[in-house]
Amino acid sequence: MTEQDLTLPGLVPIPTEFSEDFQAGFAAVIGRPNVGKSTLMNEMLGQKLSITSHKPQTTRHRIHGIYTAPTHQIVYVDTPGMHLGGQKSINRYMNRAAKSAFVDVDVILFVVEAGRWTKEDQAVAMQLKGVEAPIVLVVNKVDNFKQKTDLLPYLQSLSGKVDFSTVIPVSAFKKNGLDLIEKEILKYLPKQPAIFPEDYITDRSTKFLIAEIVREKLMRSLGDEVPYGATVEIERFEQDPETQRWEISALILVEREGQKRIVIGDKGEKIKQMGIDARKDMIALLENRVHLELWVKVKENWSDDERALASLGYTDSI
Cα(93)–Cα(306) distance, rounded to whole angstroms? Answer: 9
Assign 130 a pLDDT band (cuts: 50, 70, 90). confident
- Mean pLDDT over 5-10 rounds to 42
Q: What is the pLDDT of residue 201?
A: 87
Residue 7 or residue 199, greater confidence: 199
Please state the rounded mean pLDDT for residues 112-139. Answer: 90
Q: What mean pLDDT is reported for the chain?
A: 80
Residue 18 CB contacts under 8 Å (≥ 6 apart), including other chains: 193, 194
Single out the residue of 30, 25, 109 nearest to residue 62, CA to CA: 30
Tens digit of each residue's pLDDT (9 = 90 or more) over 18-70 = 578 899 999 999 888 888 888 898 899 888 776 554 544 544 456 888 999 99
Q: Would you place residue 112 in the very low, low, confident or very high pLDDT band (cuts 50, 70, 90)?
A: very high
Give pLDDT, residue 161: 86
In what helix (H) or strand (E) does residue 89 lie, and over which residues does it extend? helix 89-99
Distance CA 34, CA 111 (A): 10
pLDDT of residue 289: 96
| Segment holding 307, helix H or strand E | helix 306-311
Closest of 4, 6, 3 to residue 197, by C-alpha: 6
Question: In percent, how much of the chain has pLDDT > 90?
Answer: 39
- pLDDT given for residue 36 in this prediction: 86
Q: Would you say the CATH fold of 206-311 matches that of 23-186?
A: no
> Residue 190 half-sphere exposure, CB side, CA atoms within 13 Å?
10
Q: Which residues contact 260 (CB under 8 A, 6 or more apart)?
A: 254, 296, 297, 298
Phi-psi region of 120 (alpha: psi -120 to 50; beta: other; left: phi over 0): alpha
Report pLDDT for 129: 85
Q: Is the pTM of this model over 0.85?
A: no
pLDDT digits (tens, 9 = 90+) for 60-110: 456 888 999 999 999 998 876 554 455 554 445 445 554 555 677 899 999
Bridge partners of 168? 138
Query: How far is 140 from 169, CA to CA, in rounded Å?
Result: 6
Identify the CATH homologous superfamily for domain 23-186.
P-loop containing nucleotide triphosphate hydrolases (3.40.50.300)
295-309 pLDDT, tens digit each: 998 887 665 545 555
Task: Assign domain 206-311 to a CATH class.
Answer: alpha beta
Q: What is the average per-residue pLDDT within 222-233?
A: 69
At residue 271's C-alpha, the angle toward residues 269 and 275, to 5°, is: 115
* Residue of higher predicted confidence among 195 and 302: 195
Q: Is the pLDDT of residue 17 over 80?
A: no
Q: What's the CA gap between 305 and 311, in Å, rounded?
A: 10
Who's near 168: CB < 8 A, 6+ residues apart? 136, 137, 138, 139, 177, 180, 181, 184
Least confident of 59-63, 227-231, 239-243: 59-63
For residue 74, what pLDDT is reported? 96
What per-residue confidence (pLDDT) applies to 11? Answer: 41
Q: Where are the domains of the chain?
A: 23-186, 206-311
